[in-house]
């Protein structure tokens, strides 16, 4: 009897080893399989263009008086939503998820908590005297683009004027050093 049982066990093992590549074993203990949830882009929209201020410690614009963390930097809007960053060319989207490493360096160097803290401090200053607020601020709209172009044009003209003035001063200094000054 022992020999027969041993032969049966050896035969069963041989059959199992030859069919092992085709066998799969599933054990279900009543634990549900983990689900992968793919988040869709946020559908954040503003009824009115948000106001942005630029806290000096940050160096970029942050949205104030909104229920969302929205930033304007490098000609894009960045939205911190659902523990991830999203980017758009317009403050109303469409929003596309952005990996943290692809954020502008100015945003990456601050944690979201720091950004919120600096924003809130600067916004308190703005709210106390909005008519006399000296910080940078804007609301995105069609006029802003014209303002930006005008600011750039003025800045370029000032830069040119400064260079001309510096050149004149250097020329006069050189003339004075060589003894050719006016008497």
How far is the C-alpha of 79 from the C-alpha of 83, rounded, in Å? 10
Same domain? For 108 and 120 the reply is: yes
Q: Is the pLDDT of residue 103 over 50?
A: yes
137-138 vs 76-81, strand pairing mode: unpaired
Same domain? For 104 and 165 the reply is: no
| 99 pLDDT tier (thresholds 50, 70, 90) | very high
Same domain? For 77 and 154 the reply is: no
- Does an H or E element contain 137, and which? strand 137-138
Give me the residues paired with residue 72 across strands: 61, 77
From 146, 106, 118, 128, select the one nearest 53 (Cα to Cα): 118
Report whether the peptide linkage leading into residue 101 is cis, meaning its omega lies within 30 degrees of zero.
Answer: no
Express each pLDDT in 3-36 by its tens digit.
Answer: 665 555 565 555 555 444 444 544 555 545 444 4
Cβ neighbours of residue 161 closer than 8 Å, sequence gap 6 or more: none
| 165 pLDDT tier (thresholds 50, 70, 90) | confident
Same domain? For 158 and 118 the reply is: no
Same domain? For 110 and 163 the reply is: no
How far is the C-alpha of 56 from the C-alpha of 60, rounded, in Å? 8
DSSP state of 102: G
Confirm whether 56 is domain-assigned.
yes
pLDDT at position 70, please? 92
Same domain? For 130 and 169 the reply is: no
Q: Please state the φ and ψ torsions of residue 32, each to the nearest 5 degrees.
A: -70, 145
pTM: predicted TM-score of the whole model, two decimal places: 0.55
Same domain? For 162 and 122 the reply is: no
Confirm whether 72 is domain-assigned.
yes
Structural domain that includes position 129: 51-138
The distance from CA 16 to its chain's CA centroid, rounded to whole angstroms, is 57
Instruction: Please indicate whether residue 178 or residue 61 has the higher confidence score (pLDDT).
Output: 61
């Amino acid at each position: 009897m022992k020999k027969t049982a041993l032969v049966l066990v050896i035969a069963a093992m041989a059959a199992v080893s030859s069919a092992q590549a085709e066998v799969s074993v599933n054990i279900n203990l009543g634990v549900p399989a983990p689900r992968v949830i793919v988040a869709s882009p946020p559908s954040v929209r503003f009824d009115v263009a948000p106001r942005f201020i630029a806290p000096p410690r940050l160096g970029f614009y942050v949205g104030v008086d909104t229920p969302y963390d929205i930033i304007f930097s490098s000609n894009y809007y960045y939205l911190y939503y659902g523990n991830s960053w999203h980017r758009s060319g317009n403050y109303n989207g469409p929003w596309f998820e952005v990996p943290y490493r692809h954020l502008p360096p100015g945003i990456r160097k601050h944690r979201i908590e720091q950004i919120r803290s600096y924003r809130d401090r600067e916004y308190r200053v703005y709210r106390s005297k909005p008519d006399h607020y000296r910080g940078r601020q804007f609301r995105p709209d069609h006029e802003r683009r014209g303002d930006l172009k005008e600011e750039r044009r003025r800045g370029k003209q000032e830069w040119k004027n400064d260079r001309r003035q510096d050149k004149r001063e250097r020329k006069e200094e050189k003339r004075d050093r060589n003894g050719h000054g006016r008497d």
